[in-house]
Amino acid sequence: MIATPFTPIASLLGGALIGLAAVLLMGATGRIAGVSGIAARLFPPYEDREFAGRLAFVAGLVAAPVLVRLVTGSLPPQMIAAGTPVLIVAGLLTGFGAVWGSGCTSGHGVCGLSRLSVRSLVATLTFMATGVATVFLMRHWS
Amino acid sequence: MAILIQFAIGLVFGLGLIVSGMSNPAKVLNFLDVGGISAGTWDASLAFVMAGAVAVTFIGFSRVLKLPRPFLAERFYVPTRKDIDPRIIVGPAIFGIGWGLAGFCPGPALTALGFGSSSAFIFVVAMCAGMMLARFIANLPSSARVATPTDPLET
């Protein structure tokens, strides 16, 4: 386990930026800023003609750290403890579950809760619970 | 122009993920680790990310959705479903297990790609495979429901 410092101010500000992006996307395209929904729709079958816009949004997500590095000369720490087999299993489960459950942390957790959606509340409580249970089993089961 | 605007919005979202600490899986896992509360290693930061994001989105959505239409589209595409079907529990349950294993959810994983992380790349490739598999299974004739929309992406 790698210890991380408690960062309430930075996290609150970063969260506000995420919220700002969600509001801007709704105002511009009329769509929910759900990253799993946007990413999954980059693959066929295609149901509309929003491909380029979705790709641009994802490109913006990927470009953010590049911009931070250009402007500040460094990046905040990123510590990934999982090895390749765990990353593959985790990626498969995360991608499958997000599409199967119609959303992830952003679509249900941020946008859904903000719309007072009961489905999103159920989804958020469920993935928080299994996420907590998984970390507990991985770290404290002996 | 519309493409540039969506790129810029993605950039703001990504900056939020970096500033908030969500792009660091160790921070995510330390938040999910309730066993760390007694040990003093619990990192409550993510609760503040959620609080900041939901506060801004809640106020922002209530204003934006009063507009006659979005700036770049004909109408708003806001999910309307209210039913609690098995998928809205099974999907997030599976998602949470993956999230707890590596500390990545889709947004931060994509932003982590820009850090040049090979671990993030492996995760994102697997995540895309999982997404395609879910869409494939959801579109099989046997899983089509009469009562509910077959599009699994409709929140």
B-contacting residues in A 83-112 (Cβ below 8 Å): 84, 86-112
Q: Let me know whether B72 and B4 are in one domain.
A: yes
pLDDT of residue B155: 59
From the list A17, A78, A92, which residue is nearest B12 (CB)? A17
When computed from its CA atoms, the radius of gyration of chain A, rounded to whole angstroms, is 17
pTM score: 0.94
Both ends of chain A: CA-CA distance in Å?
15
> In this structure, are residues A123 and B91 in contact, taking their beta carbons and an 8 Å threshold?
yes
How far is A5 from B123, CA to CA, in rounded Å? 25
- Please give the full DSSP string across A5-40, using - where no structure is assigned: ---HHHHHHHHHHHHHHHHHHHHHHS----HHHHHH
List of residues 6+ apart from A139 with CB closer than 8 A: A1, B33, B35, B36
Q: Which amino acid is at A131?
A: G
Q: Which of B78, B99, B117 is the last residue of a domain?
A: B78
Q: Which of B48, B78, B108 is the last residue of a domain?
A: B78
Q: Let me know whether B87 and B57 are in one domain.
A: no
Q: Let me know whether B74 and B127 are in one domain.
A: no
How far is B74 from A14, CA to CA, in rounded Å? 30
How far is A127 from B90, CA to CA, in rounded Å? 9
CB contact under 8 A, A24 and B20: no
Backbone dihedral region of A48: left (phi > 0), alpha (psi from -120 to 50 degrees) or beta?
Answer: beta
pLDDT of residue B1: 87
Give the tens place of pLDDT for each residue, A66-79: 999 999 999 999 99
pLDDT of residue A2: 85
Q: Let me know whether B69 and B106 are in one domain.
A: no
Q: How many C-beta atoms surround the C-beta of residue B4 within 10 A?
A: 10
Give the tens place of pLDDT for each residue, A6-58: 999 999 999 999 999 999 999 999 999 999 999 999 998 888 889 999 999 99
Q: Let me know whether B101 and B67 are in one domain.
A: no
pLDDT of residue B146: 44
Q: Let me know whether B74 and B94 are in one domain.
A: no
Q: In terms of Cα–Cα distance, which of B21, B23, B45 is closest to B33? A: B45
Q: What is the mean pLDDT of chain A?
A: 95
Give the tens place of pLDDT for each residue, A105-127: 999 999 999 999 999 999 999 99
Q: Let me know whether B52 and B114 are in one domain.
A: no
Q: Which of B78, B113, B129 is the last residue of a domain?
A: B78
CA distance A33 to chain B (A): 9
List of residues 6+ apart from A72 with CB closer than 8 A: none
Q: Let me know whether B74 and B147 are in one domain.
A: no
Q: Let me know whether B90 and B49 are in one domain.
A: no
Containing structural domain, residue B44: 1-78
Q: How many helices (H) and strands (E) does chain A have?
A: 6, 0
Q: Let me know whether B56 and B126 are in one domain.
A: no
Q: In terms of Cα–Cα distance, which of A129, A90, A32, A40 is closest to B89? A: A129
Backbone angles phi, psi at A114, to 5 degrees: -70, -25
Per-residue pLDDT in tens (0 to 9) along chain B, 155 residues: 899 999 999 999 999 999 999 999 999 999 999 999 998 899 999 999 999 999 999 999 999 999 999 999 999 999 999 999 999 999 999 999 999 999 999 999 999 999 999 999 999 999 999 999 999 999 888 655 544 555 666 65
pLDDT of residue B143: 56
For chain B, what is the domain count? 2
Q: Let me know whether B21 and B44 are in one domain.
A: yes
Q: In terms of Cα–Cα distance, which of A66, A120, A27, A37 is closest to B56? A: A27
Q: Let me know whether B38 and B101 are in one domain.
A: no
pLDDT of residue A49: 87
What value of ipTM does the predicted structure carry? 0.97
B129's tokens: 């495979």
How far is B150 from B134, CA to CA, in rounded Å? 12
A117's tokens: 């959606």
Both ends of chain B: CA-CA distance in Å?
28
Domain ranges for chain A: 8-140
B-contacting residues in A 4-63 (Cβ below 8 Å): 4-8, 10-37, 39-41, 43, 45, 47, 52-54, 56-63
CA distance A83 to chain B (A): 8
CB contact under 8 A, B125 and A26: no
